[in-house]
Amino acid sequence: MHICVLGAGVIGVTSAYRLLEAGHQVTLVDAEALPGSQTSLGNGAQLSFSYVAPLADPSVWTHWPEYLFSAASPLTLRPQMDPAQWRWLFKFLAACNTGRVRQTTIDLLRLAFFSREQLQQLTQVQQLDFQHRRAGKLVMYGDAKGLEGARKQIEFQALHGCQQEIIDAARCMQIEPALANAKRDWVGGVYTPSEEAGDCALFCRQLVEAMSQQPGFRFAHSQRIHKLEMRNGALTAVHAGQEQIAANTFVLALGAASAGFARHAGFSLPLYPLKGYSITVPLNDAATQAAAPQVSITDLSRKIVYARLGNRLRVAGRVELVGMDRSIPASAIDELKRGASELFPGCGDLSDSAGLSPWSGFRPATPSGVPLISASPVKNLYLNVGHGSLGWTLAHGSASLLAQLIAGGATSIDAAPFAFST
C-alpha cells in the first residue's frame, strides 16, 4: 500500500519509518528542505519518559490572574479574537481537574514507556548519531510546598511503573555538581535516573537519510501542501508544490498546521499551538564544558529545561498561547540567557544572542494533553497529532501505534485513549 505522510517533523519521520518497516511504500512530504526544520529543530531535547505531567492541572485555576497579567509568568495567554483559541481554552479548563489529570497521566505514561521501548529497538537497528544519552533528569524545586506536591505525584506515578525519588538539595548537587554554582536556593528535587536526551532534528535528518537508501521511500521536500482532492469522503491526492501526490492512505502529522489541513478536509481538530523558545549554548572549551550540566535539568518554577547535547547546552522554555506569531522577541531570549547564567554561571558566552541559535516553535496540543493517534472522519486519513511539549518523547511509541492501527491488528497498548471523537 502507498501511504503519504504529511509533515517531516519527528512525528511524521517516525511514522514514515514504522510504515516503511511494515512493508508499505511511503512518501514523506514537507514544506522545508530538511526534515525536522520547524518545531523539532530547537525543542527542549529531553526524552522525559517518566515525567509526563500535563499542562492541564488544577493549579491553573489559582494561577489564572498571573498568566493573564504578569510579564514574569512562564505561561503567557494573549486573548485574541480567535474562536479556535477560546474553544481550546474552555476545553483546557474543563480538563484541569484531579480526575482527568490522573487519567491523562496514566495514558501518557503507557504511551511514553512504549515509546522508550520503540526507541531502544530502533537504535539497535539503525546506527544513528544524534547525541543520544541516558544521563537522568532532575526537576528542581525552590519551595517546600511545591516539593511536597511533587511527592504526591511521584507516589501516584510509582503505582504505574515510574521509578523516581524525592531528594534534598545536597543530594541534587552530588548528582549534578554543576548546580553547586547556581545563584538560586533549592529545597530539593525529583530525580529520575532513567531519563534520556538527544538532538531531535539531527535524529530526523539521519533517519530520513537511512530511509532514503530503501527503494520504497521518497522524501518530497520543499513541497508546501496547497490543495486537497476529495472523493466520496476520502482523500485521493494532495497538491504539494508543483506535484500532485496520490496515495491509498494519508497520515496527518503537520504539527500546528494540522488544524488548518483538517478544516479543508471537512472536520475540526481540537489543537492549539503552544509557542516556546530555545537557545543552544556552545561549550567551546574545558571550562564551559565543566560548568554545564551532564544531567538534564528542569527549573520548574520558571518552566525552563536544560539538556546536554555533546558540547552544546540546549536551554528551552516558556508556554505562550499567542496564535501563530513566529516572532522571537529579545525579551524571551534574554529570559533564557538569564536562566542559564543563574543556574550554570560560566557555561558559555551568552552575550551574543545570534550565536546562540535563537528558536521559536509551535507545539501542537490538545486541551487534555493526550495526543490523537487514530483514524479520522476522512475514510483514508489517519491522525498523529497533538503531542504538545512531549512530541520528541512520545514520537516513537505514537508511530508504532499508528502503524499497528493501519495494519488493523492488535495494538501493543490500548489505543482507545488516543482516538479522535467529535
Between CA 9 and CA 399 the distance in angstroms is 12
Count CB-CB contacts under 10 A for residue 407.
Answer: 14
Q: What are phi and psi of 49, to 5 degrees?
A: -70, -25
Between CA 130 and CA 364 the distance in angstroms is 24
Between CA 364 and CA 319 the distance in angstroms is 11
* Residue keyed to cell 520558571: 302
Angle (CA) 212-217-223 rounded to 5° is: 90
* Phi-psi region at 414: left, alpha or beta (left = phi > 0; alpha = psi -120 to 50): beta
Which domains does the chain carry?
Answer: 2-40+202-271+368-418 (3.50.50.60), 50-196+273-365 (3.30.9.10)
* Phi-psi region at 58: left, alpha or beta (left = phi > 0; alpha = psi -120 to 50): alpha
pLDDT, tens digit (0-9, with 9 covering 90-100), for 384-412: 999 999 999 999 999 999 999 999 999 99
> pLDDT > 70: what percent of the chain?
97
Q: What mean pLDDT value characterizes the chain?
A: 94
> 162 forms bridges with which residues in the sheet?
none
pLDDT, tens digit (0-9, with 9 covering 90-100), for 206-257: 999 999 999 999 999 999 999 999 999 999 999 999 999 999 999 999 999 9
pLDDT, tens digit (0-9, with 9 covering 90-100), for 126-169: 999 999 999 999 999 999 988 998 898 889 898 999 999 999 99
pLDDT higher than threshold 80 for residue 74: no
How much is the pLDDT for 63? 66
Closest CA to 318 of 54, 76, 149: 76
Any residues with CB less than 8 A from the CB of 2 and at least 6 apart, and which? 24, 25, 26, 27, 246, 247, 248, 249
Encode burial over 382-404: b for 16+ CB neighbours within 10 A, e otherwise: bbbbbbbbbbbbbbbbbbbbbbb
**R_g of the chain, CA atoms, integer Å:** 21
* Phi-psi region at 42: left, alpha or beta (left = phi > 0; alpha = psi -120 to 50): alpha
Count CB-CB contacts under 10 A for residue 21.
Answer: 16
How much is the pLDDT for 72? 62
By the 8 A CB rule, do 278 and 44 touch? Answer: yes
How much is the pLDDT for 53? 79
Q: Report in angstroms the alpha-carbon separations of 336 from 124, 176, 304, 306.
A: 35, 20, 7, 10
Mean pLDDT of 340-353: 93
By the 8 A CB rule, do 399 and 18 touch? Answer: yes
pLDDT band, residue 104 (cuts 50/70/90):
very high
How much is the pLDDT for 149? 85
